[in-house]
Amino acid sequence: MKKVAYQGVKGAYSHLACYHAYPKYEAIACKSFDETMYLVEEGEAEIAMIPMENTTAGRVEEIYRLIPKMKLYIISEHYETVNHCLLAIKGTKLQDIKSVSSHPQALAQCKNNIEKLHLEAIAKFDTAGSAEALLDMQDKTHAAIASSLAAQIYDLDILKEAFQDLQNNTTRFLVVSKEHLIPEFQTKQSYITSIIFEVSNIPAALYKVLGGFATNGVNIIKIESYAGCGTLTISQFHIDIDGHPQETNVKNALEELAYFANSVKMLGTYIPHSLRDITL
């Protein structure tokens, strides 16, 4: 059976994303993002599911720091709607609850509902770990905020679904692989190409590098800058563009990018997820 690696414990939202996107794969839990990517690099898993950003909490800083160093390629993206559930051990009633634990971001995303119930919020390392801990505690005054999958895995009651304050809460994941799999270009299909490049820290360097995209009519969807490239005289950037490298205008823009940039690394080309235009 093929394997997909994710960071977290069983029942985490990354686990749920694996379950929805790759239901026939065995999902492998990892303690860190480094370990997740390492499993794929060593061939112990075919792919990894990596969270990049959330509509409420913003980008996952650690991932953006790891991307320039990773030896893997992006082959797909997945959008997972986050449905926070208020969980408790079997037989617990809502009025019994006095406190709730979860990851700090989950607590922040449910802040108004937590306050309405007058609950004490306790920050923990992750959502699913908080759910798992309920089994050891066996305390009907304590709850956890986690996924419905966590409730199923740890045999917990769901006291409230959609416990988050904002209902349009979505996380964008990237699927990474050891193989650089580029989909065959088709004229009626949309594509995203992700790139990392370095420029010298001199006036107009970034302007010159990005100029080719403007003159060739290539849309830059997003751009991220990186510090800590080992020197203060080099700047590193991550961009996502609309288009496939086989398209003439994209090919011309990439040639100009290569001419002005110190180095260019193609991270991958993939088909946009169906939820992209209505979420992030």
Give the residue numbers annotated as catalytic, written as ranges.
171, 173
In the three-class reduction of DSSP (H, G, I as helix; E, B as strand; rest coil), residue 185 is classed as coil
78 pairs with which residues across the strands?
Answer: 173
Q: How far is residue 130's CA from residue 122's CA, in Å, rounded to a whole number?
A: 10
- Residue ranges with strand state E in the chain: 3-7, 26-30, 47-54, 58-59, 73-81, 85-88, 99-102, 120-123, 142-146, 157-160, 170-177, 192-200, 220-226, 234-242, 263-270
Q: Taking the mean position of all CA atoms in its chain, how far away is CA 125?
A: 17
From first CA to last CA, the distance across the chain in angstroms is 33
**Residue where the block lists tokens 């995209």:** 213
User: At 113, which helix (H) or strand (E)?
Assistant: helix 111-116
Q: How far is residue 5's CA from residue 48's CA, in Å, rounded to a whole number?
A: 4
Q: How far is residue 82's CA from residue 161's CA, in Å, rounded to a whole number?
A: 11
The pair of three-digit structure tokens given for residue 236, joined into one six-digit string: 């590193």
The pair of three-digit structure tokens given for residue 118, joined into one six-digit string: 């007058």
